[in-house]
Structure 1
Amino acid sequence: KSYEGINEKGKSGDTILHQAAGIANQKTVRLLIEKGADVNAKNEREETPLYRAACMRYTKNVEVLIEKGANVNAVNLMGRTALHIACTMSAKEVVEELLKAGADTEIKDELGAKAIVYANKEFKALLGKRIGIPSIQETKEHFTEALVQLLRLEPKLTGKITGIKEMKDGIKRKEKVVKHLSGIFNDKKEK
């Protein structure tokens, strides 16, 4: 039996399933779905319950949501998937579940970055991609990877760079640092 109001949204657009996916055990998530909760409901940021579970590293909730039909390739307002956030959060088991379920590793977010860009070395190996920061002369995709790696190395910048224009300005100011870091990481890779 489906319960009336089970898919109602709160102030941020979250449904009760969004909340449960981020805080509850898989039994609660499963029960809500059985009672009619929409596994692909989106909040104001276009995030699904699967995205929330991946963000919180709740592998069991991810498994239940996938089993019940969650779209593993749904994107949020930033164009990011559950795989993007799982890589960002270093959630290895979640990444493995998403890959088993057919998550597309080629989806790019609005910055042009694939999930691999947000991954650490262990995850890059898991995703079957090369490791290291590419030189600045490489393709746009590799340049995006270098920028994201730079931002990971300088966390204080992540809160300050909020848009494409600001990012381009940041790239210009940090070009020498990126070249230097690219050389360092490429040297380490060759050793």
Structure 2
Amino acid sequence: MNDKPYANEAMIKMLVNVFGVSPNDYESEHEQTLLHYAAWAGNAEAAHALIELGAEVDAKTLDGHTPLLFAVQQRSVDTVRVLIEEGADANAWDESNRSILDHLFVDNMVETTRRNDLRVIRLLLDGGADPTLGLTFALSEDHGLGVRAMMRAGADVQAACIDVGDQAGACALRQVDILRARREKNRRSTGPDGIKTRC
């Protein structure tokens, strides 16, 4: 059973149209809008309904977190898709100067949640996310799927290294070299039919 609260579209429309709740009002304690809560709950239907009723798709908390970041943190593929389709900024930065991709690679997630990583990464890249932004964190967190996705999407390794300083950049370049060496080793250890010939 899912313990996340799910609001349906009719309930949301009633709150806004009958009770006068604004979809852009901030809840004072956490400085989050209803759209933030829908994104955190992974409720794509509620997110879509709120946006149709005028919710600001890129509303930010005090920390600069957008609903898209919340959906990404939950690895909610459907909610990420809705927010991207409605124009959410896939390159949004928070107050700690981290992009949405940075958060995706740094957040420690349980294995069942990480299974959606590649789908979420692809949605973000298709939605205009800059692959260079997340490359350094993908490398530092040894997120192989993320590194490959960023490289395939055209991430600029040199620019990613410059952004984080020489020492970290050198480390990132070494990690790229290690990943390339691993890939080459895997190629050499498989036959033409793709079957491993040695361990």
Q: TM-score range by the shorter chain?
A: 0.5 to 0.7
20-29 vs 81-90, greater mean Cα deviation: 81-90
Task: Answer yes or no: is 1:9 the counterpart of 2:31.
Answer: no
CA contact (8 A) 2:138 2:144 kept: no
CA contact (8 A) 1:105 1:114 kept: no
Amino acid at match of 1:72: A
Match of 2:86 in 1: 68
Match of 1:107 in 2: 133
Post-superposition offset of 1:92:
1.5
Task: Answer yes or no: is 1:86 the counterpart of 2:104.
Answer: yes
Post-superposition offset of 1:36:
1.2
Q: 1:103 to 1:140 in 2, by over 3 A?
A: same
Give distance in 2, aligned partners of 1:9 and 1:119.
36
Post-superposition offset of 1:107:
3.1
| 1:113-132 paired onto structure 2 within 5 Å | 114-117=136-139, 118=141, 120-128=143-151
Residue 83 of structure 2 aligns to a residue whose secondary structure is helix
Post-superposition offset of 1:143:
4.5
Question: What is the RMSD of the two structures over their aligned residues, measured on CA atoms?
Answer: 3.2
Residue 39 of structure 2 aligns to a residue whose secondary structure is helix
Task: Answer yes or no: is 1:28 the counterpart of 2:51.
Answer: no
Amino acid at match of 2:130: D
CA contact (8 A) 2:26 2:32 kept: yes
Gapped runs of 5+ residues in structure 2?
A: 1-12, 108-113, 186-199
Give distance in 1, aligned partners of 2:83 and 2:122.
14
| Count of paired positions | 145
Amino acid at match of 2:31: G
Post-superposition offset of 1:144:
6.0
Give distance in 2, aligned partners of 1:6 and 1:99.
27
Task: Answer yes or no: is 1:139 the counterpart of 2:166.
Answer: yes
CA contact (8 A) 2:132 2:150 kept: no
Amino acid at match of 1:18: H
Q: 1:66 to 1:119 in 2, by over 3 A?
A: farther
Give distance in 2, aligned partners of 1:25 and 1:41.
17
Q: 1:107 to 1:123 in 2, by over 3 A?
A: closer
Q: 1:21 to 1:106 in 2, by over 3 A?
A: same
- Cα deviation, 1:115-144, whole Å, max 9, x if unaligned, reads 4334511221121168xxx9xxx9334256
Provide the TM-score with structure 2 as the length reference. 0.61
Amino acid at match of 2:127: A
Gapped runs of 5+ residues in structure 1?
A: 147-180
Q: Which structure has the bigger radius of gyration? A: 2
Give distance in 2, aligned partners of 1:56 and 1:14.
16
Give distance in 2, aligned partners of 1:36 and 1:87.
31
Give distance in 2, aligned partners of 1:102 and 1:92.
15
Provide the TM-score with structure 1 as the length reference. 0.63
Percent of aligned positions that are identical: 28
